[in-house]
Structures are given as structure tokens and as C-alpha cells.
A and B are shown apart, each in its own frame.
Chain A
Amino acid sequence: MRYALRLLLIATIVSAGTFAIADDAATLARLDELLPAVASFEHGQNSGPLNDIEQIVFSLAPDSKLRGPVEAKLLAALQSATTRDGRVFLCGQLQVVGTASSIASLEALLTDADSSHAARSALGRFEFPEAAEALHRALGKTSGKLQAGILHTLGDRRHQAAQPDCIRLLGSADPDVALAAARALGLLGGEDAVRALREARPAAAGPLAAEIDNGLLNSAAQLASAGKADEAAAIYESFYQPSQPRQLRSAGLRGLVATRPAQAGRLLAEAIGQEDRDLSRYAISLIERASGAEATKAFVGILGSLPAENQVLMLRALGVRGDSAAAEAVAAATKSEDQNVRVAALEALGSVGDPSSIPVLIQAAAAGGRGQEVARRSLLLLPGKEIDPQLVRAMSEGSAAERAEAIQALAGRGVSQAVGRLFESAADPEEQIRSAAIAAIGVLAGPADLDRVVQLAAAARDPQSRAAVVEAAGKAFRRFADPDRCAGAVLAQLERGPADARPALVRLLGKSTADRAIVSLRAAAKDADPAVREAAAQALAQWPDARVTDDLLVLIQSADRQELKELALQGYLRLALVSDDPTAMYLGVMQRVTQTNDKKLVLAGLGQTAESPAALQLALQTLNDQPLQATAGLAALRIANRLQNRDESLARAALRKVLEVVDHDDVRGRAREVLNDMDKYQDHILKWVGVGPFTEKGKDGAAVYRTAFAPEKAGVEGIDWQPITKGIGSWDINLEATYGGLDYVAAYVRTRVWSDSDRDALLELGSDDGVKAWLNGRLVFDQWNEGGIAPRQKRIPVKLAKGWNDVMLKVVDQQGGWAFCCRIRQPDGTALEGMRVELP
């Protein structure tokens, strides 16, 4: 079974509580049954018992009283295990639930080349100090790779008592051991470890040298975190030398920045100025670690002298660092000849900038180009309480584009104090400023501004401004969260406002979503003014919930213009999709639409969501309407498909009706396929003879699949075919019932099928895992796959000969279940009448 299915399996297991340990005695008894299989287990054998043991062991709760007995049984099994694979498995189980009681048994395996790693894996992860002591004892009883492995684990556990041995073994002639000792010393740390590593370093080469360097760096980090900055710095200093490879220089520099903070700015500025680009740029990435005005001064002091690429990086790093003392230098960089430097400077101003940065950023934002987006972002990020008032002042300074940028920044920054000025700007003669102000009002206006927002809608003169105001006001209404009050304000304005403002106000009324707005929209839909009627239809069509369903139905039926009817229908169908009873809605509207295209829309919606007999009936009734036939047929088959579990006979009848009436091939094909799928458990062949099991030592399921055993070899006689009498389900055959719960195994099965004539047919197979098929001695399917069984997994076109036809299958199991199913159908998947089956 593939891992993609494991999630489902686990969810099923957990939800079903299959492994809930309801009966402790039964669990232990089950373990007694399973554990003997482990003693002699080797890869490739039946892994079922091991899987079951793992489920028991892994499922033990921390406070389970079964833990002691289970551990005892695992330990007893470990003593009697005769194979490497068996011991490794048991060590793995002890790693999960083992206690100090397991240490002695595991320690004994540390010296065994085949089991040492498994035992160390358990001991290395045990939280008990005794486990580390056991590992330490084994150090003296091992050599070579086993000893190296133990040294690594002692290091990982920070077992300080092992330090003298590590120092001793640092001089080992075995390179694996010496390297492991160096690594362990680095992890253990301390003055003795540092001294030993330093002394060993001059004579070391290759991987050992690299590991000693790494160990010294680890030790330095420990010293630094223990407050011994000078000792740590001395180590870092030794690596921050021109003679060292770049990675060690980098490590040394980083360590010095951390341990000598007062010198960090100078150190980094020097490094940034170096020719080695890797080191220079790494140093730039470290400047956020150097704080203080002196460091900032050092960094901005070299900014202009750097190559443009490094200026870009430096500016970004200064931005991350966020010290406003760099603002002036960064602002100067916005005038650079290099565009990348300018853009980086604009970005950095977002975090280091001050009020003086505002004009720079606004101008860059208004100028467009690459800097626009960055400048806009920086305007939103500029820190400090003086920024917002300065931006308000900028609303009335500079070009229209610059003033619009200031407004946009105020909206983005959420400066609600600017709302009063925004209403003034919303009447500005410049369209650019008006648009920005209206959008900003949508974001910033508060409940106290409600009347002014509504007046704005009434005052808007051109269609573009009206649409913008309605959109912005709708946004504000949602934020106010007081639909009735919003509706009241709009209605009041409708009463006293100018006539030409009424369409915009009616649309705005729809944004309120208040009950009383619906009443008014209903009236507006009958208004004498066509523009008001259209606005009402739009508002109702965009209404967010089902309260307007009946109003939309009225419009669909009686609106005076076809486009308004269509608008209402679209709104209605949108609501039907999310309705609790979509069928009722579709049925309700179908009687009211007259246009063919509208009817198609309703039928398509019906097919998309409905699953009631009434919906099916409606679709079927429409089948005889030729222009609607294809859409109705599609809807009917979709509804039938959803309905089949509730009323199979109704679904079948509907599908047959579609096949009978509809003359569109695509729809007919889909209907037939739904019927075929409903019949997927029918007519499977359950009479078989079989022979097996067949395995190949050292081969997995895929290899067994490829291997030709006697039944598939030509001319082989004397094969002992036996009737299959076990594991016969209603549609499938479980081969494990006949041949056992084996893995990586094949069986062959045969049967014969009568055909009244030479004819085309479809051989439908399902299998767990792979299946190969022959018809009358000719191979007709040969494609290995793994996975569980289901009907109709493979559909193979074949030709049946008149008379008896011999069918042979080879069914191969990889791991887990082992089963197959087979039936023969007409080429279109429907039942094959008159077919007979008997044993060969």
C-alpha cells in the first residue's frame, strides 16, 4: 500500500479505535503470539507480525500500565533473536518505549558490528544518564567505526565524563576515531577540550583538520554563551586571518562581532571594504548585529566608496538595521546615478527615514517607474509620530500626482485624523486627487462620518466618480457594521437629494444590507425613472443573501428590459449556489424564464448542485425541448449520479431515459459511464481454478511480476490447477484465503467464458497489487502497478471468439492485501447478455 494511503489508514485506525487497548491481557497475549516471528525475521519475510507489534508498542500511552510488561517481553525476545533484522527491529521498539531496564541488554549489543548502530540508536536517545554511561563503558570495548559511532553519540549527549577518553582518542591512528573524538570535544567544550584541539591542529590534515576547526568554533560559541568573551574572541581571532579559507574567516568575523561589540562597527567596515567579495558581502549581512551610533557612522562613512552593487546591499542592510542616524546618507543615495542604488535607498528610507524623507519619497512615488512601488511602500513604513501630520500637510503641497500620493499614503497608514481634509479633497478639481480622496474615505471614514459619506455619493457628478463613491462607501458601510443606520442615512438623502443623484443613492442603499433597504429597493425597481430602476436591479442582483430571492424572481419575470431580467437571473443563480435548498430555487425560477439561454443557465445550475427527485424530474421533463436537450441531459445525469445512493432505481431510470432521448454523443457517453459505474459490482466472475504461490528468493513484487513461472510458459504441462473455494466475495477473490498472507508473491487463476459469436468485448479487472492477463493464450494486459483493489481499475478491449474462451490472470502481491476481480462487458461497458462461465 502506498504512503499516500497511509493517512487515510491512520485516520481510520484512530477513529475506529482499533488499537485502543481495551483488554490488557489480550494485548499481551497478542504480543506473545507475534513476537516469535521476530526471532528469525529477515527482510522479505512476512512483515505482518512486525507491523502489528509496532502498532501495539507505538500506541502505548506514557502512563500505560502495560509498558513494563511490554518492555519485558521485547527484552526477552531480544535475548532469543537469532537474526540481525530481528534484533534491529526489537532495538527500534525499545527505542520508543524502553526504560533504564533496557540499558543492559542494549549495551551488550554495542560491540556487535551488526547490531551496534541499532542499540546505539536507542541508547543515544534515552533520556537516562545511565544510557550515556553504558555508551561510555562500550568505548573501551570497541574500535574502528563502532568506536567512532559511540564517540559521536557521546558527543551528541554532551557526556562530559568522556572528555579524557576523547582527548586520548584524538590521537588515534584510525581516522574515523580521531575525527569523531575531535567532533565530540568540540561539542563537550571547555578549556581542556580547546587545548587538546589546538595542540592537535598543526599535525592534522584533510577532514580531521576541518573537524578540529569546527570543534574549536563550537567551543568558542560555548565560551561566549558562558560569558567568557575574551577566551572566545581569541579563538575567533585565530580564524579571522587572511590565511584562512573564506568560510573560516567568515566564522571568525561573525564571532568577533558578537564577542567584541565595541569594535564591531570598525571590524565590519574594514571587512566591507575588502577586495574579497564573498567576505565583503558577508560582512554587510552582519551589520545589523553591530548596534550604536559609532557603528552607524562607520557604515555610512564607507557607503559612497563602495561599488554600486555593494551600495545596494549596504543600503538594504542599513534598512534592516533601522538606525535613523543613517537617514541623511540614505537620502543622499536616492540621488545616485545608479538606478539600483536609488531604488535601494528609497526602500531603506522606509525604516531609517524621518519627516525629511517624505518629500523625497512622495516625489519618487509620483514619478512612476521602478522606484514608485518601493517609495509607496516606504511611505507606509516610515516610523515616528511626526510622519502623519507631515503627510497631511503634504496633501496640499506639490503637483496633483504628489498630493494624490500623500493621500494614498495616509489611507495606507490608517490616519483617520485626515478624514476631514479628505472630504475637501474629494471635491478637488483635479480628478487624480478626487479619486485618491474618495478611495481613502472608504478606508478611513468612521461611523461619525456617515452622513458626509452619503452626501458625497449624492454630490458625485460624473458616472466614474459615482461608481467610485458607491464602492468606497460600501466599504465604509461594512466597517461601520450598523446596516440600519446606514440605510437610514441613504434614505434620508434620497428624500432630499437631487433627482440625478438617485441612481447612485439607490445603488448605495444596496450596500447597507438593511431590511428596510430591501423595501425601498423593491419600490425603486418600479420607479418611473429607468436609471433608478436599473440601479435597483443592480443592487438587488448584488445583494449578499437570500432575503431578496422573491424580489429577484419578480424582476426576472417582469422587468421591463431584457438586460435587467438577465441581471436579476445572474444574482438569483448566485444565491441558489449557496442556498440550503437549491432545488427549490431552481424549480421556482424555471417557470419564470422564457429565453432559451436563461433556461440553459438554470439547468446548468441545477445540474451543478441539485440532488432531489424533483430536480431530476424537471431536467427530464425538459429533455424533449430540442434546444435545451443537451443541457438538460447533462443536468439529469449529474443529478442522477448524486442521487444513486438514495434512490438507485430512480437514478437508473433517469439515466436510461437520457440514453433513450438525447442524441448528443458526449452526453450519452457520460450517462452510460455513470450507469456502468453504478453496475461496477455486478457480473464479476467468481468461478476460478488457481495455482500458487510463486516467489523468487530476493525478488520483490515487481520482479515476481516480470518473472515467467510455469503457467505462463508455453508447452508446460502437469500444472496442478485447483478450484478456488475460499475468499470468494460478492465481486472479488481474496487470494490470501487460499495461499496465505504472503508478500512478494504471485498466483495464477483461470476460467473460461462462453460467447455466442465472435465479438468485441471489454475485460474489466481490479487487483491488489499487479495483474497480468491472457485471453485464449494471448497476453492482453501487462503493466505492473501497486495499490489496493477496486472494480474496473483496468478496462482492456479484447476480442472474444465464438465458443469457449480461456481467461488466465497472474495476480502479484507486493505487500499487504492480495486480491483480484474480473468481469467481461460489451465494448461500451454495458452488460454482455448470454455470457456463461464455467471452470476449465
Chain B
Amino acid sequence: MAERVRQTRRGFLRAGAAALGAPLFVRSYAHGQGPNDRIVMGGIGMGGQGRGDLGGFLGFPFVQVVAVCDVVGRHAQLAKDMVDQRYGNKDCRVSSDFNEITRRPDIDAVLIGTPDHWHAVISIEAMKHGQDVYCEKPETLTVREGRRMVEIARQYGRIFSGGSQRVWGDYHWFHQMVRGGAIGDVKEAWVNVGGPSGPCYLPPVEKPDDVDWEGWLGPAPWRPYHPSLIAGGFRPFRDYSGGGMTDWGCHTFGGALFALGLHETGPVEIIPPDGKDHPQLTVRFANGVQIYHGGGWDGILNFRGTEGEISEKGDRLGNRRSPPEIYIPNYKGQGGIFGDFLHCVRTRELPFRDIERAHRTATVCHLGNIAYWLKRRLKWDPVREEVVGDPEANRWLERPYREPWYLS
């Protein structure tokens, strides 16, 4: 163990983190016999969603949050206040540079609650530096980001859990009904979530002193400051998000895919609405299953099988019957999706919302957006992960980042 401590310190110094004034801790979890078997965490992106998640992690007695980061000073301060109040001290570090967290070797895991355009860059930096990641959904902004996040997580042996608590938490009744065969052979599902994002032309507004605007934009194209973007109003805009399609889409398409056992593959065709044969965007899979964006008859998620139809309320008559008693692997550990992640940090098992599943779900959402934007059918190769015979559509699978940002 002594050797490990010495080497870790050396690596830490090599990484230049000592200059940041971070304490020379080693990761408490790595050795397994640390004080109270604690998991040391940092929070990056501490707006409303990030602080909500932070509160969830603070509820675990074996989690110790030691640092928070946000490019908006008041967000970071609110998060620090939460942490300090939880532990009864003033020890939580605050910064506006996520590197000050991802390069700290004493931090085991990070919570990422930034806007979507930062998820891949920060996740990969954290994993590259040996940290596990809990990242809010939508986990990716492009298809290529998702694949690279999978590669990095696997290469470095890091745990990555996406932040969709609904796929299991809200939709497990659907999973049991569909997988248990309660409505027969299911070939159709409807997902009712918002639409795609578009361009952003908000006017320039004078920037407050406590906002690091360059830090907020990061890899996204430059544009002048606007307050609604830092207040959660970034989702309608393509440079930062895939809109409702990826926002709730990553929950609800995720639910449909998991129920149908399609959560680790991809579609073969995406057809935008044409006002005729395809009233809704249609996502078609090799086994003939079709998932529609919009439509259905009730609520956010509908399934039609050979022996029945279900929505959240149950069948068409509103009878919500008990599902077949089948076992479907889901969260490990205790405490929902947070507990699942923390359990896997300890055991190195794959969490329920592992990055492969998150990426596959987000890919469906991204492809839907591309089909909407270009208003044409896309043939998709789910193995090679590229659009077949349409190089221009493939241009949307990745986005060169604004200098100097990159994905390792």
C-alpha cells in the first residue's frame, strides 16, 4: 500500500495538480480499506439538475463530496453551500475549471450535470484520469462522441453511468409486460417526447461578472452571452443539445428500447414524417420492430402487441394489470440509479445505464434529429454506426470542436 501511495503522489505531481493547491490525498476507494469505505466525489456543472443530483449523492453516508465546479459563480456557490451544510464544515472546494476536479487523484468519481455539449469532453477527461463518471442525460451530443466514450470507459476500466433514472424507475412495468409476453409479440411502440433542436440567434446580452462565458461555451461554436442559456434554456438549440428529442428522448426511447431488448443495438432505417405513409418519424429495426416518435393513444410511451396494447394507464380500458413475474436485471445495490452507480464504483460491474446503452439510446435520438433536419430517410448500419449511402448525412455524426477542445 505504501508503494501505491508514493506512486500515486508522483503521478499527481506529474499531472501538475499540485499547483492547484489540492490536498495530496490518494483515492480512498482504490484501496478498499479506506475510512468508512468512502467514495470521494466531485461535482461538475452545478445548475439546477446538477444540484438535484448532488443532493442525491450527498444522501449516501459513504459518499464524500470534496469539490464542486461551475462556470456560473452563483451555481457553484449554491452547490458548495449544500455540501458544506451536509458535512457541517467549509471544506468543499469551488472552481470554474473542471480540470481542477478531473485531475485530482483523490477523487474517485465525478457527477457531471453540465449542458449536453460538455458531457463527452469532461467525461473522457475524468475517465482518462482514472475517475468514474455519473453523467446526466443526454449523455452525448453526437453519435461519434458516444462511441468514443464507450471506448475510453472500456480502455481505462472506468465505470460510466448515464443519468436516466426513468428507464427503469418509471418504465419497469412496461418492461415486465413487454418482455414477459403479456401483450404477445410486440412490434410497435410510440414515444411522445419533444422535437428536435434548431439554430440559436438569441441577442447578445451584457455578461455578469460571475459567469465564465468562454467556459460555458467550451467546445461549442462561439456566440455572445445570453442569460437564458446558462439558466437551463439551452435545449432548443442545436449547438448545445438535441432538443426534446434527446432530452426526454433519452429517457423514453431508452425505455422503449430496453423493453424491446433493442438497447444494445441500433435501428436500420429512420423515416421522417411524410404526411402520408409515415405520419410520425419512424425508427425501424432489423427484426421488424418500429418505434414512432409521437402518435400513440395515451401518455408518453405506448406499446402494441399481438395480444394487446398498453400505455401507462394500462390497456385501452384503463386496466393496469399486474405484470408477469419475470426477473429483469436492473439496478444493483440500494438507492436507485445513484446507488447502482456507487455499487458499481465499488464492484467494477457495469451499471444499469452503462455508456454502451446510453450511447445506443442517444444514437436513436440523434438519428431522429438528423432525419428531421434533412427531411429524408436514413439507412443506418448499426454495426459500423454510419448512414449507408448518404455521406452528407454522415456529416452530422460528429462535430469538430472549437479550438482548443478535443476528445481524447
Chain A residues at the B interface, C-beta cutoff of 8 Å: 2-11, 14-17, 19, 42-45, 47, 50-51, 54, 58-59, 61-62, 85, 88-89, 92, 95-97, 114, 116-118, 120-121, 124-127, 145-146, 148-149, 152-153, 156, 176, 179-180, 183, 205-207, 209-211, 214, 217, 221, 242-248, 250-251, 253-254, 275-278, 281-282, 284-285, 309, 313, 316, 373, 377, 574, 577-578, 698-700, 702-703, 743-744, 815
- Say how far B224's CB is from chain A's closest CB, in angstroms: 6
B226–A152 contact, CB under 8 A?
no
Within 8 A of A (CB), among B348-380: 348-350, 372-376
A114 to B223, CA, bound (A): 10
Within 8 A of A (CB), among B368-408: 372-376, 390-392, 394-396, 398-404, 406, 408
A127 to B392, CA, bound (A): 8
Set of chain A residues within 8 Å of B197, measured between Cβ atoms = 3, 6
A51–B199 contact, CB under 8 A?
yes
A373 to B328, CA, bound (A): 12
- Other-chain residue from B31, B154, B203, B293 in contact with A700 (beta carbon distance below 8 A): B203
Chain B: interface residue total (CB-CB under 8 A):
87
A61–B273 contact, CB under 8 A?
no
B403–A152 contact, CB under 8 A?
yes
- Say how far B162's CB is from chain A's closest CB, in angstroms: 19
Within 8 A of A (CB), among B118-145: 127-130
Set of chain A residues within 8 Å of B400, measured between Cβ atoms = 117, 120-121, 124-125, 149, 152-153, 156
15 additional contacts (CB under 8 A) given A15-B276, A44-B202? A4-B244, A5-B195, A6-B197, A9-B195, A11-B273, A11-B294, A43-B201, A44-B204, A148-B404, A149-B402, A207-B99, A242-B4, A244-B11, A247-B157, A700-B228
- Say how far A348's CB is from chain B's closest CB, in angstroms: 14
A88 to B199, CA, bound (A): 12
Chain B residues at the A interface, C-beta cutoff of 8 Å: 1, 3-4, 7-8, 10-11, 14-16, 27, 29-32, 99, 105, 127-130, 154-158, 194-199, 201-206, 221-224, 226-228, 235-236, 243-245, 272-276, 279-280, 293-294, 316-317, 327, 346-350, 372-376, 390-392, 394-396, 398-404, 406, 408
Set of chain B residues within 8 Å of A51, measured between Cβ atoms = 198-199
- Say how far B141's CB is from chain A's closest CB, in angstroms: 13
A120 to B194, CA, bound (A): 31
Set of chain B residues within 8 Å of A251, measured between Cβ atoms = 155-157
B203–A698 contact, CB under 8 A?
yes
Main SS of the interface on chain B? loop
A127 to B389, CA, bound (A): 12
Set of chain A residues within 8 Å of B272, measured between Cβ atoms = 14
- Other-chain residue from A7, A54, A96, A156 in contact with B398 (beta carbon distance below 8 A): A156
Set of chain B residues within 8 Å of A145, measured between Cβ atoms = 403-404
Set of chain B residues within 8 Å of A577, measured between Cβ atoms = 317
A250–B195 contact, CB under 8 A?
no
- Contacts A44-B203, A217-B155, A313-B347 given; does A146 touch B403 at CB 8 Å: yes
A14 to B130, CA, bound (A): 47
B244–A7 contact, CB under 8 A?
yes
A17 to B273, CA, bound (A): 11
B402–A117 contact, CB under 8 A?
yes
- Contacts A15-B275, A120-B400, A180-B406 given; does A247 touch B156 at CB 8 Å: yes
Set of chain A residues within 8 Å of B406, measured between Cβ atoms = 152, 179-180, 183
Closest to A215 in B: B408
B3–A242 contact, CB under 8 A?
yes
Closest to A142 in B: B403
A6–B198 contact, CB under 8 A?
yes
A245–B105 contact, CB under 8 A?
yes
- Other-chain residue from B155, B199, B280 in contact with A50 (beta carbon distance below 8 A): B199
B195–A8 contact, CB under 8 A?
yes
A sample of 28 cross-chain residue pairs with beta-carbon separation below 8 angstroms, ordered by A number, consists of A3-B244, A7-B294, A11-B273, A11-B279, A14-B273, A14-B375, A43-B203, A54-B199, A116-B403, A117-B400, A127-B391, A145-B404, A146-B403, A152-B406, A176-B403, A206-B16, A207-B99, A210-B128, A214-B408, A217-B155, A242-B3, A242-B4, A245-B129, A254-B155, A278-B348, A313-B348, A316-B349, A702-B228
Closest to A55 in B: B375
Set of chain B residues within 8 Å of A117, measured between Cβ atoms = 221-222, 400, 402-403
Set of chain B residues within 8 Å of A9, measured between Cβ atoms = 195
A251 to B130, CA, bound (A): 11
Set of chain B residues within 8 Å of A44, measured between Cβ atoms = 201-204
Q: Which of A89, A152, A179, A242 has the most CB of B within 10 A?
A: A152
A243 to B198, CA, bound (A): 49
B236–A276 contact, CB under 8 A?
no
A702 to B203, CA, bound (A): 11
A244 to B14, CA, bound (A): 12
A250 to B156, CA, bound (A): 6
B408–A183 contact, CB under 8 A?
yes
A285–B395 contact, CB under 8 A?
no
Set of chain B residues within 8 Å of A114, measured between Cβ atoms = 222
B348–A276 contact, CB under 8 A?
no
A785 to B245, CA, bound (A): 22
A11–B205 contact, CB under 8 A?
no
A815 to B200, CA, bound (A): 11
A313–B155 contact, CB under 8 A?
no
Main SS of the interface on chain A? helix
Q: Which of B129, B244, B408 has the most CB of A within 10 A?
A: B408
- Contacts A44-B203, A146-B403 given; does A10 touch B15 at CB 8 Å: no
B235–A3 contact, CB under 8 A?
yes
- Other-chain residue from B11, B206, B279, B348 in contact with A698 (beta carbon distance below 8 A): B206
A209–B15 contact, CB under 8 A?
yes
A15–B373 contact, CB under 8 A?
no
- Other-chain residue from B195, B279, B347 in contact with A6 (beta carbon distance below 8 A): B195
B30–A277 contact, CB under 8 A?
yes
Closest to A125 in B: B395
A66 to B403, CA, bound (A): 34
A743 to B201, CA, bound (A): 10
Set of chain A residues within 8 Å of B275, measured between Cβ atoms = 11, 14-17
B14–A206 contact, CB under 8 A?
yes
Q: Which of B155, B198, B276, B404 has the most CB of A within 10 A?
A: B404
- Say how far B53's CB is from chain A's closest CB, in angstroms: 23
- Contacts A4-B194, A211-B408, A313-B347 given; does A126 touch B273 at CB 8 Å: no
Set of chain A residues within 8 Å of B227, measured between Cβ atoms = 700, 702-703
B202–A43 contact, CB under 8 A?
yes
- Other-chain residue from A242, A243, A278 in contact with B29 (beta carbon distance below 8 A): A278
Set of chain B residues within 8 Å of A146, measured between Cβ atoms = 403
Set of chain A residues within 8 Å of B349, measured between Cβ atoms = 285, 313, 316
A8 to B156, CA, bound (A): 43
Q: Which of A2, A89, A574, A743 has the most CB of B within 10 A?
A: A2
Closest to A20 in B: B375
A253 to B401, CA, bound (A): 32
B293–A7 contact, CB under 8 A?
yes
A246–B195 contact, CB under 8 A?
no
- Contacts A242-B7, A277-B32, A578-B317 given; does A700 touch B194 at CB 8 Å: no
The 9 A-B pairs with the shortest beta carbon distances in the complex, nearest first, are A44-B203, A15-B275, A7-B195, A149-B403, A250-B157, A277-B32, A206-B16, A281-B348, A47-B201
Set of chain B residues within 8 Å of A125, measured between Cβ atoms = 395-396, 398-400
A309 to B347, CA, bound (A): 8
A15–B274 contact, CB under 8 A?
yes
- Other-chain residue from A152, A246, A248 in contact with B401 (beta carbon distance below 8 A): A152
A282–B194 contact, CB under 8 A?
no
Set of chain A residues within 8 Å of B198, measured between Cβ atoms = 3, 6, 51, 54
- Other-chain residue from A3, A97, A210 in contact with B129 (beta carbon distance below 8 A): A210
- Contacts A7-B196, A44-B201, A152-B400 given; does A15 touch B273 at CB 8 Å: yes
- Other-chain residue from A54, A121, A214, A377 in contact with B221 (beta carbon distance below 8 A): A121
Set of chain B residues within 8 Å of A247, measured between Cβ atoms = 127-130, 156-158
Closest to B325 in A: A373
- Contacts A16-B275, A62-B390, A242-B3 given; does A578 touch B316 at CB 8 Å: yes
